[in-house]
Amino acid sequence: MITTGSRKYATKSIVQLTREKYPKIKRNDSFKKLEQEDINFFKSVLQNDNGVVTNKDDLEFFNEDWMRKYRGESAVVLKPKTVQEVSQIVKYCNEKKLAIVPQGGNTGLVGGSVPVFDEVILSLSSMKKIRSFDKVSGILKADAGLILENADIYLSERGYIFPLDLGAKGSCHIGGNVATNAGGLRLLRYGSLHGSVLGLEVVLPDGTILDSMHSLRKDNTGYDLKQMFIGSEGTLGIITGVSILCPARPKAFNVAFLGVSSYEAVQKTFVHARGELSEILSAFEFMDSKSQKLTAKHLNSPHPLDDPFPFYILIETSGSNKEHDDAKLESFLESAMENGLIDDGIVAQDETQVQTLWQWREQIPEASTIGGGVYKYDVSLPLPDLYGLVEAVRAKLNDANLIGETDEFPVVDAVGYGHIGDGNLHLNVAVRRYTKDVEKVLEPFVYEWIQSKKGSISAEHGLGFQKKNYIHYSKSDQEIKMIKDLKNHYDPNGILNPYKYV
């Protein structure tokens, strides 16, 4: 096993090239192929030993997505340290028609941050400075390559919290979070990045630097241009700086881990929690039993609850007064038990137990890959229909005789978990190997099912390469036309993150 950064690669297998796996996707002939003169130019801009990466072994980490589904063939990774260097690189690439893939922590789940062919990889990993922080307003300004966890540690030392929390926080970059409009575990409390991001610094496809690093919460002068780049996945510009409003850090956290008998009980418990916990409710996560079985194997630890249940709930509260919060949580749990909503539960007694309980939710994505791989679907659905998708997919796989406990079956299981607070389901189809038979069962069935319930095929992971051809299941023809018009206007040469998004 080789460990690189925070990701591990098994030495026993090589990920198939994306162009071989999807032969119908053709390289755009208008894009130039990298030459030595291009490398020489990049070295003249990035005058440091680690700024230009061309070693084949070193390139593997950047060419391959962490789920080991997609692999490109880029011959160079560029690591600028300033927005001026990014600007020079992008301007040159646009003039030469060299395609670029912007890359943050490379923790994306839809193949959006790795090349499809031989695109130049522009990594923001060396742009990780905190530019300023206002202790009165809570406004943080930082480089896009700042790791989310490092940003939160910095803020915690000053009494604030980053308004986003993800399982991949130790690797993902805040610029990548903004570019994909990541939702995370505490959107219920702090809202989406469309509300908390105050300004951005972006390098446009022609190399122009758009400096919109505002620190104003109110500004009604013209279009709110930053919104165009939040969730654009690096197709309209490369985010190099972020200005974001950070809330005061709660002084008291509580976590309760509960077992319930049905998905209906999950919904009823959520309604009860909103009413009883109200302003201190910061997370409400649900997990099915199959996701917990995979996680138990992955963690090699006993489950927090002794008895098995069909569904589990993780509730987090956060506030300024521990005694007040403890009393509210205790009252909620007592009434929920008396009303038959929950069957069993445990409340963390210290910080270590808080982290341990969160692991049973946060480690599900990684646990889903232990058999060999995973097909991941991040979708939004009306709450009554949310878990129905998992049941429908599991039935479909069973009908096709693809799911089973032995190696002859490609599928280990289909599991569901997610953020009840914002109607976001994570459907993970854990597999022993990636096969076309499985993909044919899953797609477009998953997207058609979601469309029939008026949901969205992507709640927070974006479209990337995986979902590009399925955007019409969530967007109208007119919406798609406007998206393409924006792309063609700002990036007429199509050099930024090609073959993806639309």
Question: Residue ranges of the domains in the chain?
Answer: 130-245, 252-364, 368-461
Q: pTM here?
A: 0.91
Q: 303 Cβ partners below 8 Å, 6+ apart? A: 292, 296, 360
Would you say domain 368-461 falls under CATH 3.30.70.2740?
A: yes
E-strand spans in 297-394? 311-319, 344-347, 373-380
The answer to whether residue 111 scores a pLDDT higher than 50 is: yes
Q: What is the pLDDT of residues 292-315, one digit of tens each?
A: 999 999 999 999 999 999 999 999
CA distances from 19 to 22, 108, 247, 303, 436 (A): 5, 19, 44, 42, 15
Could you tell me where the beta strands, DSSP code E, fall in 332-435? 344-347, 373-380, 411-419, 424-431
* pLDDT at site 502: 81
- What angle separates helix 289-299 from helix 351-362, to the nearest 10 degrees? 120
Identify the pLDDT of residue 258: 98
Indicate if the pLDDT at residue 12 is higher than 90. Answer: no
* Percent of the chain topping pLDDT 70: 98
Q: Would you say residue 9 has pLDDT above 50?
A: no
Question: Which H or E run includes 39?
Answer: helix 36-45
254's enclosing H/E stretch is strand 252-260
| Model confidence at 7: pLDDT above 70 | no
Distance between CA atoms of 179 and 418, rounded to whole angstroms?
A: 21
pLDDT in tens, 399-412: 999 999 999 999 99
Asked if 289 and 321 touch (Cβ cutoff 8 Å), the reply is no
> CA-CA distance, 350 to 184, in Å (whole number)?
23
The answer to whether 145 and 126 are in contact (CB under 8 A) is yes
CA count, 13 A, side-chain hemisphere, 430: 23
pLDDT digits (tens, 9 = 90+) for 433-478: 999 999 999 999 999 999 999 999 999 889 999 999 999 999 999 9
Beta partners for residue 428, in sequence order: 376, 415
Cα atoms found within 13 Å of the Cα of residue 383, Cβ hemisphere only: 17
User: Is it true that 252-364 and 368-461 share their CATH fold?
Assistant: yes
pLDDT at site 421: 87
Sequence-distant (6+) residues with CB within 8 A of 262 are: 310, 311
Q: What is the pLDDT of residue 8?
A: 42
Give the C-alpha separation, 353 to 22, whole Å.
45
Q: What's the pLDDT at 25?
A: 96
Identify the pLDDT of residue 6. 42
- CB-based burial, 99-109: b 16+ in 10 Å, e otherwise: bbbbbbbbbbb
Please name the residue that has the structure tokens 């930053």: 226
Going 98 to 70 to 238 to 149, the CA torsion angle's sign is negative
Q: Is the pLDDT of residue 11 over 80?
A: no
Contacts of 253 (CB under 8 A, 6+ apart): 316, 317, 318, 354
Neighbours of 464 (CB within 10 A): 24
What are the structure tokens assigned to 75, written together? Answer: 């011959």
Radius of gyration of the chain (CA): 23
Residue with tokens 């692991």: 359
Q: Where are the beta strands (DSSP E) in 177-219?
A: 197-203, 209-212
For residue 212, the one-letter residue type is: S
Give the separation between CA 259 and CA 374, rounded to whole angstroms: 26
Give percent of the chain above pLDDT 90. Answer: 91
**Interval 17-37 mean pLDDT:** 97
User: In angstroms, how far is CA 84 from the centroid of its own chain?
Assistant: 28
Q: Side chain identity at 416, as an amino acid letter?
A: G
Pick the CATH number of 130-245 from 3.40.50.300, 3.40.50.720, 3.30.465.10, 3.40.50.1820: 3.30.465.10
pLDDT digits 0-9 by tens, 414-442 = 999 999 989 999 999 999 999 999 999 99
Interhelix angle 36-45/83-96, nearest 10 degrees? 160
The residue type found at 263 is Y
- Classify domain 252-364 by CATH number: 3.30.70.2190
Q: What are phi and psi of 164, to 5 degrees?
A: -150, 140
3-state secondary structure of 411: strand
Q: Tell me how far apart the alpha carbons of residues 346 and 281 are, in angstroms, rounded to a whole number.
A: 17
Nearest to 217 by CA among 209, 226, 208: 226
Residue-level pLDDT at 10: 39
| Nearest C-alpha neighbor of 99 from the set 125, 127, 71, 78 | 78
Q: Do 164 and 195 touch, CB atoms closer than 8 A?
A: no
Q: What is the pLDDT of residue 48?
A: 83
Per-residue model confidence (pLDDT) at position 4: 37
Among 73-77, 220-224, 230-234, 267-271, where is mean pLDDT lowest? 220-224
Within 8 A by CB and 6+ apart from 251, the residues are 319, 320, 321, 322
Span 38-43, mean pLDDT?
98
pLDDT at 148 over 50: yes
